[in-house]
Homo-oligomer: A and B are copies of this chain.
Amino acid sequence: ETCKNGIHESLVDLSSFQLEKVLHNNTNRKTVCLKGKFASKHGEALVLLEKTAFAEENLKQDSDYFTKSSALEKVFHNDIYGNYNYFPKVNLNTIKATIIHPATEQHFLKYSPQKCRVVDETPEVYEKIVLPHLSSEQFNLKWLYNILEHKSEVERIIFEDPDVENGFILLPDLKWNGEVDTLYLLGIVHKRDIKSLRDLTEKHLPLLKNIQKKGIESIKSKYGLDGSQLRIYLHYQPSFYHLHVHFTYIQHEAPGILAERAHLLSNVISNIELLPNYYQKITLPFVVRENDGLFKKLQENSVN
């Protein structure tokens, strides 16, 4: 029902989009995040635009980049240095658009730039403050169960191990446009009771090693990259609380790979092998936005 009336059934341009606010303009990554509405549709919309990286398969001599159909316009030159505006054929210069509609306040918060704080989460802080907060604010995981149940995105699945204990589905991350240069896949476990790193113990070692081994093998056979060319990691805090593992090409500076958030899978496995209850004992730093309800709760309890 939502799907049938949804904007994604019929959208062919943004002429019905009523821009309300530019939430965020990342001039480094060339992304922009817009808030607005679609004419005659209920609810607010979030439009995320991202200039795409150059695709190496198009950087070949016979490409339209190197024909008269892609124009150069000189800005200035000085000696051997020339500065131009370049207008490649429109199909070479895609923008990736992600449109969320209807979008909730949480979506807008997620995409608004925020001042952040680092919090050192002890096991006690996790139990008393963070866990109860998560349980009350959990995102809707319908989209994820759709994937696990083969109700959505079936044709996007790169690999599946259907085992209920150790199985997982590997598929492209929403942020990925499909070029190996920016490879970004997600391994989503079939088990539904592992929220995050904090829940991992020695009994999950077979699951973690299975994801590591089969994820690497699938990527090697499909995309030709070795395991040593992959950054394989988990987020803490994750953006949704169902265990998932990120696979990105090591040469690609994907979002979410900073030390305060990303934990390499090989290190996670090694930690648990060293100490089976490592993730129940350790202090885990994480980053939280100043205007996040969780940060207020932490402040009230004098954590940070």
Write the residues of chain A forming the contact surface with B, with a CB cutoff of 8 angstroms: 2-3, 6-8, 11-15, 17-19, 22, 25-32, 34, 49, 51-54, 56, 59-61, 65-72, 74, 76-88, 90-91, 93-103, 113, 115-120, 142-143, 146-147, 152-153, 156, 174, 179, 181-182, 226-231, 233, 250-254, 257-264, 266-267, 269-271, 274-275, 278, 281-285, 287, 304
Contact = CB atoms under 8 A, between A and B. Distances in A.
A99 to B, nearest CB: 4
A209 B84 CA distance: 34
A208 to B, nearest CB: 13
A131 B265 CA distance: 24
A282 B271 contact: yes
Contact of A93 (B78, B93, B143): B93
Nearest to A265: B285
A97 B213 CA distance: 42
Contact of A15 (B67, B74, B83, B258): B67
Given A117-B228, A274-B278, 5 more contacts: A28-B29, A78-B143, A83-B96, A87-B94, A120-B270
Highest count of chain B CB atoms <10 Å: which of A228, A271, A285: A228
A143 B96 CA distance: 38
Contacts of A66: 14-15, 17, 19
Contact of A264 (B2, B182, B269, B285): B285
A59 B97 contact: no
A64 to B, nearest CB: 10
Nearest to A179: B27
B119 A228 contact: yes
Nearest to A83: B98
Given A97-B85, A270-B283, A27 B182 contact: yes
Nearest to A271: B282
A152 B282 contact: no
A258 B31 CA distance: 20
Contact of A94 (B77, B86, B156): B86
Contacts of A259: 231, 233, 257-259, 261-264
A91 B269 CA distance: 50
